[in-house]
Amino acid sequence: MDSNQQNLDDDKIIRVTRVPSTDATEQQQKKEKKSGGFFKKLLMVLLLLAVAGFAYWWFMLRETRNYSEDEAWALISHYQNTDQPDSLYDILNYYMSQYPEGRYYSETSTLLSRFESERDELESILKSNCTIKNVDTYVYAHPDGFFRTKALGVLDSLEFADAQKHNTPDAYQEYLDKYPNGKFRSQAQTELADAQENSIVTEEEMEEVTTVIQKHFQAIQDNDSIEILETIAENLSSYIGKQNSTEDDVIKYMKHTNEGRNVKIFKTSDYDVSKVVTAGIPIYNVRFALNEKINPNDSLHSRVRDFKGTAIVNAKKKITALVLQ
């Protein structure tokens, strides 16, 4: 092999060894990307820290700013008119501490005393006796109060909770009438639609509910202890003037009604039945007319009495409350 050929072969070898492999190139590119991504992330973190630091500095600058007397008094009026009680309280205290001999010291002192009195009164109501009546009384007593907006928000929540408790179309409609733009407007509209659908009394339900009322007064007329117990729940919330009545109370009323020689005939009519469904369980509110005829076959001693009756009937079609007027 001559020298020229040897040189050519050596040159090829050198060229081959200088060409990097594909894997090595990809690894180098990945390292560069990782390095570039790291620096980008680091730059973003530093930028966020700078923004946060500036925001904190600006906030502290505003918080520690010294206001002139006129500026402080103007802020008091501003926070009053824009309903910002927290900021108002801070600037009232600021004025009192910075300008004890100020031109508006007396007015500021009066405002601060009134502010703290209204605040403490509302906090006491919210902690101990938060009812619609008490919060409504507070709002009425302070028509231009510092916490009127807060109290109205509480009243909004209480009124809606009361509507949910009753869970009737009338209750939800009453809430919407009082608070057309209330916090729970959308939910109240949905629940109103559900309550209206659930309040529909079917013909079968109407028949069952009116029948139990009729049987109850028929049992009183017949002085039938067994039949009358079939029409009532074991415990009644009220029964013709007596709260928390029992079966014995009902029997006593029946016996008392049938004392003497008078003959009494009862007839019910004009039923108005509404339904409330809570947790899937229906409760029926029944209004009706009751006609009582005494000694109807005795022209000399006959009498007629009319009553308006209200009853509550449970899902088992038993009377749980009965009122006659």
Report the distance separating Cα 164 and Cα 158, nearest Å: 10
Angstrom distance (rounded) from CA 224 to CA 252: 12
- With both helix axes pointing from N to C terminus, report the angle between 105-128 and 69-81 in degrees, rounded to the nearest 10: 40
Phi, psi of 268 (to 5 degrees): -105, 150
Instruction: Look up residue 150 and give its two tokens.
Output: 């807060």
**Cα–Cα distance for residue pair 175/156, rounded to 1 Å:** 8
Angle (CA) 264 269 275, round 5°: 125
**pTM more than 0.75:** no
* Predicted confidence (pLDDT) per residue in 1-10, tens digit: 455 555 545 5
Q: What domains sit in the chain, N to C, each tagged with a CATH number? A: 69-198 (no CATH), 203-324 (3.10.450.50)
> What gap in Å lies between CA 69 and CA 103, rounded to an integer?
8
CA distances, 259 to each of 253, 256, 264 (Å): 10, 5, 10
Q: What integer pLDDT is reported at residue 278 of this predicted model?
A: 82
The whole-angstrom separation of Cα 87 and Cα 133 is: 29
Structure tokens at 246: 């029992």
Nearest 5°: phi and psi at 263?
A: -100, 130
Q: What is the pLDDT of residues 29-56, one digit of tens each?
A: 555 555 566 777 778 878 888 777 766 5
The CA-to-CA distance between both ends of the chain, in Å, stands at 134
pLDDT in tens, 218-276: 999 999 999 999 999 988 999 999 999 999 999 999 999 988 878 889 999 999 999 98
Strand partners, 302: none
Q: Taken in order 255, 260, 265, 266, is the CA torsion positive or negative?
A: negative
pLDDT tens digit at each of 325 positions of the chain: 455 555 545 555 444 445 455 555 566 655 555 556 677 777 887 888 877 776 655 554 455 568 999 999 999 999 999 999 999 999 999 999 999 999 999 999 999 999 999 999 999 999 998 999 999 999 999 999 999 999 999 999 999 999 999 888 999 999 999 999 999 999 999 999 998 888 899 999 999 999 999 999 999 999 999 999 999 998 899 999 999 999 999 999 999 998 887 888 999 999 999 998 888 899 999 999 999 998 877 777 788 999 999 999 999 999 999 999 9
